[in-house]
Amino acid sequence: MENQVENKKGKGKNRKNKKSSKKGWIIGICIILLAGVGLYFARKTVKGPETEKMIYTVINETYENVIEISGNISAAQSQELQAAGSGTVQKVFVKEGDKVKKGDVILELDATEQEYNLASLDYDIAQKKLNGSKREIELLEVKREMLVKKLDDRKIVAYFDGIIAALDVAPGAYLEAKDSVGTLIDRTYMTASVEIVETDVSKLKPNQVVNFSFPAYDKGTVQGYVVSYPEIGTITQRGATVVKAEVRIDNPPEEILPNYSFTGEIEITAPVSVTLVERNAIGYDQGASYVEVINPDGTVSKVNVEVQQYDGTYVKILSGVKAGAVLNNLGVNRSGTLRINNTGTGGGTNGRSGGSMNSMGAMPMGGMPGGR
C-alpha cells in the first residue's frame, strides 16, 4: 500500500513537472511573438534617409528696396470757375471735356447795364475833350478803367491751357457772385505730396522712380518720379516726424483724374534677382561646394557650384545651376546625421535680401522666400 501511495505521489509530481514545462514553453513563445511584433512596428515607424528621399528645386526670387507711399493725386493746375459778379448767364462757349487755351472765354453773364454805362462814359469823355479841363478828363479816364473791369468781370475766362473737367451751367441761369459752375484743370502732369518717415529721408534723391497704383485704373502701374523734398521735417498730429516729398507723373493716362487715391513705391535701388535653394541641397567635397542635379532621364550629375550664405534655410547660388534645376538632398549623411554648414564658398554676409524692403528699408528675415 505504501508503495502504491508513493507511486501515486510520484505520478502527481511528474504531472506537475509536465504542466510547468508546458507553461514555460507557452510563455517563451509569447515573448518571442511580442518581440517580433515590436520589431515589426519599430521598422515600420523609423524611416532612414534611404527610405524617404527629399529633393529640392532651385528658385529665383526678386526683391525691391523701396519706400512705400500713399495719397491723392492732384492736377498740375486747377481753376474753380466762379462768377465775379451776379447776373444771368447769357452764353456758354464750352462743354465738359473741352480743351481750352489761356484767355479763352468760358461763359458770359448779361452785361447790358455795364455796356450802357461804358458807352455813356465814353460820350462824356469825348465832350470833355472838346471843352473840359485836363483834370476832368483824367478823372473820367480812371472811372472808365473801373467800368471796363466790371465789364470784364461779366466773363469767366481760362487762366491757363487745360481741360474743362466739370461744368454745370446753362444759358438763362442766374448766378450770385462767387458761385462755382465748374473746374478747369491742367493735366500735362499730375502731382502729389507724400509723407516720408524721417528714417527714410536719407534714402531720397530727386528723379528716383516712383511706381503708382490707382484702384480706379486697372491697366497696371503708372510711372513717375521724385521732384523734390524740403530740408526740414514736419511733426504730424500723431507725433511722428515726416518730410513731405513732391512726386510727379508726366503725361498721365486720361482715366486718372484729380483727387484719385493711390499707393506707390519709391525705388531706392533697382530690383535685384537672386537664385536660391535650400541649404541641404549643397554638399561639400574638400572645401568645394557641389550639388547633385537630377536630370530628366533620372540620371544624376555632380555639378560644382558657387554659393553664398543667405539665411537660416536658403543659400544663394552664384554660379553652376539655374532656377528650375532639381537637386538631391545632401544635407543628411549616410548615418542619418544632419550636416549643417554655416558658410559656403564665395563668402558673403548673412543678410536676408529676399522679399521687399518695407518703408523703413529693412528686409524681412527668415521664412520661405516669396519675392514680390
CA 291, CA 321: separation in Å to the nearest integer? 9
**Structure confidence at residue 340 (pLDDT):** 34
Q: Give Rg (Cα) of the chain.
A: 45
Nearest-5° Cα angle at 188, 185 to 189: 95
Q: What is the pLDDT of residue 200?
A: 93
Predicted local distance difference test score (pLDDT) of residue 364: 35
SS3 267: strand
- Distance separating alpha carbons of residues 67 and 223, to the nearest angstrom: 15
- At residue 32, the 3 state secondary structure works out as helix
Class of the CATH domain delimited by 67-75+187-267? mainly beta
Amino acid at 233: G
Centroid of chain to Cα 300: 41
Domain 81-182 is of which CATH architecture?
A: Beta Barrel (2.40)
Determine the number of helices (DSSP H) and then strands (DSSP E) in the chain.
3, 23
Determine the pLDDT at residue 303: 95
**Which of 178, 191, 184 is closest to 79 using CA atoms?**
184
Q: 49-65+270-364: which CATH number, 2.40.160.40, 3.30.420.480, 2.130.10.10, 2.40.420.20?
A: 2.40.420.20
Cα 277 to Cα 320, 321, 339: the distances in Å are 12, 10, 16
Which residues, other chains included, contact 105 with Cβ-Cβ below 8 Å and sequence gap of 6+? 93, 155, 156, 157
Q: What is the pLDDT along the chain (372 residues), one digit of tens a residue?
A: 444 444 444 444 444 444 455 555 565 565 555 544 443 443 333 344 443 568 999 999 988 889 999 999 999 999 999 989 899 999 999 999 999 999 999 999 998 998 899 899 888 888 888 888 888 888 988 999 998 888 889 999 999 999 999 999 999 999 999 999 999 999 999 999 999 999 999 999 999 999 999 999 999 999 999 999 998 888 888 888 999 999 999 999 989 999 999 999 999 988 888 999 999 999 999 889 999 999 999 999 999 999 998 888 999 999 999 999 999 999 754 333 333 333 333 333 333 333 343 333 333 333 333 333
DSSP 3-state of 116 = helix
pLDDT of residue 137: 87
Question: Can you give the pTM of this predicted structure?
Answer: 0.56
